[in-house]
Every structure is written in structure tokens, then in C-alpha cells.
Amino acid sequence: MFPPGYRIGHATDRRSRTGCTVILPPPGTIAAAEIRGGAPGTRETGVFTPGNLVNEIHALVFAGGSAFGLATADGVAAWLQERGVGFAVNAVRVPIVAAAVLFDLAVGKPRHPGPAMGRQACRAAREGPIETGAVGAGTGATVGKLFGVARAVRGGVGSSVIRLPAGDVVAAIVAANPFGDVVDPESGRILAGPSSRGGARVRTARALLRGDLAESPLAAAATTLVCIATTVPFEPGSLKRIAIEAHDGIARAVRPAHTVVDGDTVFALAPSGPAPPVLLRLRVGAAAAEAVARAIVDAVRRRPGSARTRR
């Protein structure tokens, strides 16, 4: 469960295998962003640079549809504006809505989410348990695209929560659509990845080093999208470091990670306040990386309908 005050909602188009997920934080939440993938699709990441005018965030959207899916943020911004939520500029309220997208156009029907789906996700947003699996932004997500989508497996939305010794919370929600395999961070065992034509499991990282790759590894674009949320107050500069450290969780659970065809992006959200003491910053950073790794594993956990993807 995310920290109190956070509302999360999905809009899911199962027929077209796409969707979006919206995260609505409580008032006074600030954000930081860190992009490590070579093929990102994002909106409003630069606004959170430490020292800029605005650091507060009013909504975060993850969506399928590649660059087309960024339009979901327009629907979210309009929904918030109608409710008087936003950064005050004279008499106008301007909602700060960040977004990141993943590529799912190679599965399902070629339909991408837009403003109406963003509004739908806002209406569905609730506090409490988060629906995970092939929902929202993860509806058309796939894992292990070395040989293209036809031999990949389903990805999806995953979440996890870690409670620190003093009671503070570090939570993660991810949309896992990576080029690489999802592995057990402890054992390295492959949990989701491509298969050879004979059905044998293939380790993507090993195949990149030693295999015959006559088939293009660019058959489908990829991404892991992450939101970290904590109850520990931060100021923008120290929160940026949490977003950086959270990327370690992607590298633990996805192999290879941060490739040129991935759009790996992390957003870190926290209440605005002074920088925490160094020990607490270390704990939150470590918890962020661990929460991300667990959430990615959760995204590929076997559920009804999580069978191998075929085009």
C-alpha cells in the first residue's frame, strides 16, 4: 500500500492491449526524476531540476502507446484544473503533470491511450491496495524482447512497500516492459524472458555476448517506468539522489538494464521539507532500490491471464 494520501488508478483497454496508470499524490508533494534509458518518452521531467521555480507535483502518469500516450497527461491536467488543483499563476491554476510512456504498439490493436483514458484513470484513483499485473500502463507490456514481441512474455504493473525502523514508508510502483529478462535479484534465476525457437529459455545478456543474433534486437522498443514514494520529507536536491539510487533496483531485477532501446525512468516523490540526516538518506536510498526490484518481480508474478504472449 502506498503512503497515506496517495490515490492510484488505472484505465485499461484489454481489447487493444494498452492503458494508463495515474498517481495522484497528496498536496505538498515534490518530485525528482532520473532517466537512465537510451529511448525515453517523457513529459515535465525538466521542471523538477533542483533550483527551478516549481518542484511540487500534482500527478504522475504512466501510459502505453509510446509517444502518442503522452496525450493522457492532457486529460489528467484538465481533470485537475476543473478541481482547482495546480500551481498558482495569478488567478490561474496550472497542474504540474509529469508523464512517461512505454512502447506497446506491437501487441493488440494499434490504438493508443489519449486524454479520455487519462480522465478515466483519475476517476478510478483510490487509496489502498493497488491492482497489479496486466492492467493500466502494463496492459500491453512485455518482457524479454531479444527476438521480438512474438517470443516475449507478459510484463505489467507491480508494486511493493518497505517500512523503515522508525515507521516511515518507501513504496514503489512500476510498469515493467523491459528489453531484458526479469530475474530473481537474489539467485539470478530468470523469472520472465524470451525463449528460443525450440522453446528453451534464453538468457538475454548471455545471448548478446555470445549468440547468433540474425534477428533484430530492435524488434520492439522497451522501458521500465518507476515511481518511488516515501513519507520521509526531502528537499529537491537530496530527493534527486533517491531517484538515482532507485535505478539500482532496475539493474538488480532486469538484465540487461538501461539499454539503448529502453526508456528507463524513475520519479521519486516525497513531502517537501529539509534534507533528512545522512543515515536516514542512506536508508531511504537502499529501501528505494530494494522496493523497485521487488516491484519488478511482482509485475511478472503469475496471475490469471499471464500466459506467454503471442502476436
pLDDT tens-digit profile of 129-166?
A: 999 999 999 999 999 998 888 889 999 999 999 999 99
Predicted local distance difference test score (pLDDT) of residue 71:
98
pLDDT value of residue 1: 76
**Residue 305 confidence class, pLDDT cut points 50, 70, 90:** very low
Cβ neighbors of 112 (< 8 A, separation 6 or more) are 18, 64, 65, 66, 68, 69, 71, 105
Asked whether the predicted pLDDT for residue 311 surpasses 70, the reply is no
**pLDDT at res. 216:** 59
Sign of CA dihedral 276, 278, 279, 285: positive
Q: Measuring CA to CA, which residue among 263, 274, 273, 299 is closest to residue 179?
A: 263
Cell of 109: 490493436
Lookup: cell for 99: 508523464
Which tens digits make up the pLDDT trace of 25-50? 999 999 999 999 999 999 999 999 99
pLDDT score for 301:
87
Q: Does residue 133 come out as left (phi exceeding 0), alpha (psi in the -120 to 50 range) or beta?
A: left
Tens of pLDDT, residues 177-200: 999 999 999 999 999 988 766 667
Contact assessment for residue 21 and residue 187, using Cβ atoms and an 8 Å cutoff: no
Confidence of residue 16 (pLDDT cuts 50, 70, 90): very high
- pLDDT at position 81 is 96
What pLDDT sits at residue 302?
A: 65
Cis peptide before 256 (omega within 30 of 0): yes
pLDDT digits (tens, 9 = 90+) for 249-293: 999 999 999 999 999 999 999 999 999 999 999 999 999 999 999
Q: What is the pLDDT of residues 89-113, one digit of tens each?
A: 988 999 999 999 999 998 877 778 9
Q: What pLDDT is attached to residue 304?
A: 46
Q: What is the pLDDT of residue 251?
A: 97
Confidence at residue 148, expressed as pLDDT on a 0 to 100 scale: 84
Confidence of residue 69 (pLDDT cuts 50, 70, 90): very high
Q: Residue 198 has what pLDDT? A: 63
**Residue 177 Cα to chain centre, angstroms:** 9
Residues sharing a CB contact under 8 Å with residue 256, sequence separation 6 or more, in sequence order = 179, 180, 204, 205, 208
- Which tens digits make up the pLDDT trace of 193-241? 887 666 677 888 888 887 767 665 555 679 999 999 999 999 999 999 9
More confident residue, 58 or 199: 58
pLDDT of residue 149: 85
> What percent of the chain clears pLDDT 90, i.e. is strictly above it?
81
Three cell numbers written together for 41: 518518452
77 closest CA partner among 91, 64, 58: 58
Q: Identify the structural domains of the chain with CATH numbers, from first to last.
A: 7-299 (3.60.70.12)
In one letter, which amino acid is 208? L
Quote the pLDDT of residue 219: 57
Per-residue pLDDT at 307: 38
Q: Say if residue 51's pLDDT is above 70.
A: yes
